Amino acid sequence: MSEARGEGVVVERAALPWVVVGRIGWFVGVVVLGAVTSILASLWEFKSPSAGQLAAITVILVLARLVWQILEWRCATLVIGVDEVRVTRGVIGTQSVSVRLADVAQVEVFRSATERLIGAGTVVVSSAAGANAGAGLRGVGEPERVRELILGRVKAAKNLTGGAASTSGSRMPVIGIVGGIGAGKSHVARAFERLGCVVLDSDVAAKAQLDEPVVKDVLVSWWGSEIVGADGRVDRKRIAAIVFADATQRERLEGLVHPRLKAGRASEIARARQEGKRGVIVDAPLLLEAGVAAECDLVVFVDVPREQRLRRVVSGRGWSEEEFAKREAAQWSLERKREASHAVIENGDGVSAERLERDVARVLGLARERAVRQVTG
């Protein structure tokens, strides 16, 4: 690391040969393809292009790719300034992403197998200003030292700005919604929304996370560029195939995404308090399983008979009964979810809109009482 006048600390990346090592799979693939093509051309006695020409084209492609990777490598920088962390990338045009030190929620270090070999790592700085805010750089030398430096400056910046956000409006409750598949949790969440609450859809936020540059860079370093589709977006089906086949990889992905989702929820909750909202509703698919309930003042269980839930998913999602049973078996049992909840809302087919509104208002009142008790002791 070095101090640049007026810039702050410029973080050094690992040795340049990492560019070659980190892309070795691509280089080997191109070389093998060229060699096979040349051999086939010789066997089949193709006169144009010749085997030598094909080999030359292969070499040119490899060299061009290598030169481009070197340029990208040299043009990417991470600067730890007095009041912000900034990552700049780009060969022809530059793109900068910055995070104010006072807004930093966490600083993480991830290491691919290649990075471990050379003592490098990917440093990711996540912002509490939003779930999608953050900056990161791959191939950073001495990543743990860089992390500690950033955390030190974050602490100093927050001391100067008075630390965390104001706790005014802290009596506003946070309510988590759980229930079986097809229980209509989103429908109940909208009823809370009509009473002046803010709804946080964690499923939508989690999907959006995968396309964030910081997250995508880490995923590519783990599982290769094959996980990125032709449109430049992360292929969710390929990610699903990886994580559902290997629990270790699923935990790895959750370790990357869940802290960012948590930081995003904290930011949205703080904003709702400042805006005077009546409550925040967390609609997360695995709220209890992922430990999100710890962030809530109250958890409500949405109760619907199994046959009605099955009918809903068969008609609405096209699932078979086997698929329904398989997915529900992967979650906590309904009995366990109910026991972990503080209140129950009926949402069966016979429940009128008026009754649902009354039950939602009742639960909101209970949640506000619990939030007050937690604040006042």
Q: What is the CATH number of the domain that holds 81?
A: 2.30.29.30
The strand pairing partners of 177, in sequence order, are: 300
Among candidate residues 106, 134, 161, the one where a domain is terminated: 161
CA distance 182 to 178: 11
Residue 43 has pLDDT above 90, yes or no: no
Higher pLDDT among residues 155 and 168, named by residue? 155
**What is the rounded average pLDDT of the residues 212-231?**
90
- Report residue 113 CA to chain centroid gap: 21
Q: Indicate the average pLDDT of the chain.
A: 81
The answer on 289 and 140 residing in a single domain is no
Which CATH number fits the domain that encloses residue 219? 3.40.50.300
The residue length of the chain stands at: 377
Residue 48 covered by a domain: yes
168 in any annotated domain: no
376: pLDDT strictly greater than 60: no
Domain boundary among 52, 73, 94: 73
What digits encode the pLDDT tens for the residues 310-320? 999 999 999 99
Q: What is the pLDDT of residue 194?
A: 94
Tell me, yes or no, whether 166 lies in a domain.
Answer: no
| Structural domain of 103 | 2-14+75-161
Does residue 80 share a domain with residue 69? no
Dist CA 305 CA 307 (whole Å): 6
Alpha-carbon separation of residue 117 from 21, 41, 114, 286 (angstroms): 10, 38, 5, 36
Tell me the per-residue pLDDT of 73-121, one tens digit each, with 9 for 90 and over. 778 888 887 678 888 878 887 777 888 887 787 888 888 877 788 788 8
Spatial distance between the Cα atoms of 158 and 150, rounded to a whole number of angstroms: 12
Task: Give me the mean pLDDT over the 185-196 stretch.
Answer: 95
Residues 211 and 180 in one domain: yes
Split at pLDDT 50, 70, 90, the class of 345 is: very high
What value does the mean pLDDT take over residues 65-76?
A: 77
The predicted-structure confidence for 227-286, as pLDDT tens digits, reads as follows 998 888 999 889 888 987 788 898 889 888 888 888 888 889 988 988 889 999 999 888
What pLDDT, on the 0 to 100 scale, is given for residue 37? 64
Across-strand partners of 174?
280
Read off the pLDDT band of 132 (50, 70, 90).
Answer: very low
148 CB neighbour count, 10 Å cutoff: 12
Are 297 and 271 members of one domain? yes
pLDDT of 17 strictly over 50: yes
Whether 199 is in a domain gets the answer: yes
- Residue 198 above 90 pLDDT? yes
- Domain final position from 136, 161, 186: 161
Confidence of residue 6 (pLDDT cuts 50, 70, 90): very low
Judgement on whether residues 179 and 215 belong to the same structural domain of the protein? yes
Q: 318-338 burial string, b = 16+ CB within 10 Å, else e?
A: ebeeeebeeebeebbebeebe
Nearest-CA neighbor of 173 among 272, 79, 56? 272
Locate 158 and state its tokens: 């927050």
Residue where the block lists tokens 């009546």? 278
Same domain, 147 and 101: yes
Note whether 356 and 245 are same-domain residues: yes
pLDDT: which is higher, 292 or 72: 292
pLDDT at 12: 61
Total of domains in the chain: 3
Residue 42's pLDDT band (boundaries 50, 70, 90)? low
C-alpha dihedral sign at 303, 305, 310, 315:
negative
Look at residue 339 and give its three-state secondary structure. Answer: helix
Q: Does residue 290 lie within any of the structural domains?
A: yes
